[in-house]
Amino acid sequence: MTSDLTPAELVALTGQKKPERQAAALVALGIPFRAAGRMLYVARAVAEHWPQWQAKTAEAVPQMHLVR
């Protein structure tokens, strides 16, 4: 497992595809991140503690009790 979120996870967390908008969304959410050029990095350990991340991952988990 990597120590940073993947680009797809970052899009899911912020709801944005462009790095400039992702950065603005992360600032608005109060989630710390690192920037290197146009790349943004959010530590997985940090993201896992934010309610926004927990909500996104809960949506991705299939609810087998609903399957017939």
Residues of the chain with pLDDT under 50: 1
Per-residue model confidence (pLDDT) at position 4:
93
Q: Where are the alpha helices (DSSP H) in the chain?
A: 7-14, 19-29, 44-47, 51-60
pTM of the model: 0.71
Q: What is the dihedral of CA 42, 44, 50, 54, to 10 degrees?
A: 130
Tokens coding 46: 């940090």
